[in-house]
Structure 1
Amino acid sequence: MVQAESSANAGRNGLKASTAGAPPDYELPWVEKYRPIFLDDIVGNTETVERLKIIAKDGNMPHVIISGMPGIGKTTSVLCLARQLLGDAYKEAVLELNASDERGIDVVRNRIKGFAQKKVTLPPGRHKIVILDEADSMTSGAQQALRRTMEIYSSTTRFAFACNQSNKIIEPIQSRCAILRYARLTDAQIVKRLKQVCDAEKVEHNEEGVAALVFSAEGDMRQAINNLQSTWSGFGFVSGDNVFRVVDSPHPIKVQAMIKACWEGKVDAALETLNELWDLGYSSHDIISTMFRVTKTITTLSEHSKLEFIREIGFTHMRILDGVQSLLQLSGCVAKLCKVNMKPQLFEPPNN
């Protein structure tokens, strides 16, 4: 039985099974090559994954909605669950539709309904599974049509929805499903998996390179592994500088220097660094987002300064998202940051 696989065997098989049947010279994207095969291999969200393991063991799967940010294992979890529930019948008893597929009312009425009506021989207590990735992008009309299909074929078919925001799925569907929420992955969890991939692929790297991958991924395992493969393919060595060349985002060391100049009240130095970043072609959103993430990690900033800095950066970020993306907005933000630690006497008019 699939469930009888031990965690250790699952991990070993996970590296090999994904490439089975591929030509020797065919290189799979690492994000697919090292996609978990079993629930034991999934990184993070331990409590939620344990609930899925219980479902896999008992065999009675409810309709489920898994919500959370991109790249944290939502779709992979459902695929692993389906694989462990259905075993050899997986290919013919699972229908997967993602955002690239047309998912209007016609698809619900024809393709999904046709699959639900299809007869498949399964072990007792098992059901066909329809997996809808990025379900929150489905139209309201399609969701309404899907609700009726879920009711009619609930005895033979189960539905699994993966989405970023569960509140964009209509209430009637939510009420029919068990809702599981996935949290973002921790830095330590991403580092552990990246090092496993590096060891398997014999990737030369240093600690700064791994830290840069984690920083740029922001909790997204898929992005971290894609950036790792891109950096290795492009440069042959994973270092911090090489990673930031690949992801094309402002280098945090440069941004950190700008933040520290603001903290010391050195307006000219801070604006000079800002202009350098702007001239390199980075967008306002890239710069302000990196400023926020870097500010949180600077340990030398006092608690008061850090709070004030994040407050001003937040207001500027809001204006940028509203469409005001000029260099003037960023310069104004830098000026306000410089003002935080300056003595009030510096702003008093000179006595004649």
Structure 2
Amino acid sequence: MAEALSPVVMDLDDNDQSNNSVKPNNKNDKGKNVVVVPPESKAVPWVEKYRPQSLADVAAHRDIVDTIDRLTSENRLPHLLLYGPPGTGKTSTFLAVARKLYGVQYHNMILELNASDDRGIDVVRQQIQDFASTQSFSFGSAKSSVKLILLDEADAMTKDAQFALRRVIEKYTRNTRFTLICNHVNKIIPALQSRCTRFRFAPLDSFHVTERLKHVIEAEKLDVPESGLAALVRLSNGDMRKALNILQSTHMASQQITEEAVYLCTGNPLPKDIEQISYWLLNESFSESFKRISEMKTRKGLALVDIVREVTMFVFKIKMPSDVRVQLINDLADIEYRLSLGCNDKLQLGSLIASFTRARSDLVAAAK
């Protein structure tokens, strides 16, 4: 959903609209057409090989994409602030806008910076200001004289750099449009937010992830049963980049991309393993549970943090009083947090089993 914080829509210097280098697709083909990389480019990551080439190709967030497409067509493109989780189409949308404005020569008219690397005030004063202050020029069929600057991971910029960027944006609005991309919008100072039109890119729903994966599977002629496709969608958690990376890495490791192959490649515990672990936690003694889970963990190379995360999701499927469920989930969240800080696995496995032992006692007490 778009959040227009201020009247920042602006007319570009040239009213002529450039020809698109990629013709828009039919409405029924949205999210499916991609640039096909020549056969010799087998080493190209699929996230780049199948990156959308035009705004019509972006699979999801049609309300956002259509709004940006209309503003671009009307030469009224504002400064943009695109935020949301990784792999949801933020950078692809910016690059599609660049292609729409400049065609195949778009690289000559944009400045891309990863703000997590180039995050200080010197970058704003030198690279950004130097690029923004130079005379605009056109390439090929591109007639728009406005230039684009992309600051990816802008939430990693220092506060001083953000304050310096605020003035640069104001000074060079006539010939330059800025796009800030970040995961956490609260780390962007209000002064910058107010100068941009904000768009939130939510995690992709399973339908759009599935459709794009099916297109890639068909294009690459892969052997993927329904269970394998469902595993890819489940593990992606709405991150298209992650889904394609898992698909490609599993394909390199296995001819058939089954559910088990996907889980083995990513190191995630299989659903049947989580069911078995949950059974031990709910029915076996402390020592027996500790022994069996440790053996499975070692044998299959599982990370305890992944086990805790999956067991937490499994708890939602178990019938139990709401107060017992809430307490157990809170305990599991504490364990996951401690594991993220590097705490000892054996101690946290003991905490996991103790949490379920207490939940079992509460269930018995509730039944009486």
Above 0.5 in TM-score?
yes
2:307 corresponds to which of 270, 287, 299: 287
Tell which deviates more after alignment, 301-310 or 321-330. 301-310
Q: C-alpha displacement at 1:345, in angstroms?
A: 6.3
Structure 2 residue aligned with 1:47: 63
Secondary structure of 1:255's counterpart equals helix
Given the superposition, is the C-alpha separation of residues 268 and 39 from structure 1 closer, same or farther in structure 2, using an over 3 Å criterion?
farther
Greater helix percent: which structure?
A: 1
1:238 corresponds to which of 257, 263, 270: 257
8 Å CA contact 1:36, 1:42 repeated in 2: yes
State whether structure 2 residue 193 is matched by structure 1 residue 171.
no
Give the partner amino acid of 1:34: Y
Given the superposition, is the C-alpha separation of residues 9 and 218 from structure 1 closer, same or farther in structure 2, using an over 3 Å criterion?
closer
Give the partner amino acid of 1:139: T
8 Å CA contact 2:116, 2:154 repeated in 1: no
C-alpha separation in 2, matches of 1:212 and 1:154: 46
Structure 1 residue aligned with 2:102: 86
Structure 1 residue aligned with 2:122: 106
Tell which deviates more after alignment, 237-246 or 29-38. 237-246
Given the superposition, is the C-alpha separation of residues 46 and 13 from structure 1 closer, same or farther in structure 2, using an over 3 Å criterion?
closer
8 Å CA contact 1:86, 1:126 repeated in 2: no
C-alpha separation in 2, matches of 1:10 and 1:44: 9
Structure 2 residue aligned with 1:219: 238
Structure 2 residue aligned with 1:38: 54
> Residue by residue, what CA displacement relative to the aligned partner does 1:208-232 show, whole Å, maximum 9, x if unpaired?
2112212222221101101101111
State whether structure 2 residue 206 is matched by structure 1 residue 187.
yes
Secondary structure of 1:95's counterpart equals strand
Q: C-alpha displacement at 1:263, in angstroms?
A: 4.1
TM-score, normalisation: structure 2: 0.82
C-alpha separation in 2, matches of 1:268 and 1:46: 53
Secondary structure of 2:257's counterpart equals coil
C-alpha separation in 2, matches of 1:148 and 1:200: 47
Q: What 5-or-longer segments of structure 2 have no aligned partner?
A: 1-18
Given the superposition, is the C-alpha separation of residues 265 and 43 from structure 1 closer, same or farther in structure 2, using an over 3 Å criterion?
farther
C-alpha separation in 1, matches of 2:40 and 2:23: 30
> Residue by residue, what CA displacement relative to the aligned partner does 1:71-127 show, whole Å, maximum 9, x if unpaired?
111111111122223335522211111257534322222221121122223577752
Output the aligned Cα RMSD: 2.9
C-alpha separation in 1, matches of 2:43 and 2:212: 20
C-alpha separation in 1, matches of 2:89 and 2:98: 14
TM-score, normalisation: structure 1: 0.86
Tell which deviates more after alignment, 210-219 or 84-93. 84-93
8 Å CA contact 1:43, 1:189 repeated in 2: yes
Tell which deviates more after alignment, 176-185 or 24-33. 24-33
8 Å CA contact 1:59, 1:85 repeated in 2: no
Secondary structure of 2:199's counterpart equals strand
Structure 2 residue aligned with 1:162: 181
Q: What 5-or-longer segments of structure 1 have no aligned partner?
A: none
8 Å CA contact 1:274, 1:331 repeated in 2: no
C-alpha separation in 2, matches of 1:49 and 1:11: 12
Give the partner amino acid of 1:327: K
8 Å CA contact 2:31, 2:212 repeated in 1: no
Given the superposition, is the C-alpha separation of residues 5 and 188 from structure 1 closer, same or farther in structure 2, using an over 3 Å criterion?
closer
C-alpha separation in 1, matches of 2:104 and 2:40: 25
Given the superposition, is the C-alpha separation of residues 291 and 220 from structure 1 closer, same or farther in structure 2, using an over 3 Å criterion?
same
Give the partner amino acid of 1:333: L
Q: Between the two proteins, what is the percent identity of the paired residues?
A: 33
C-alpha separation in 2, matches of 1:183 and 1:139: 25
Structure 1 residue aligned with 2:355: 336
State whether structure 2 residue 197 is matched by structure 1 residue 197.
no
Q: C-alpha displacement at 1:276, in angstroms?
A: 2.7
Tell which deviates more after alignment, 104-113 or 237-246. 104-113
8 Å CA contact 1:265, 1:341 repeated in 2: no
Secondary structure of 2:238's counterpart equals coil
Give the partner amino acid of 1:121: F
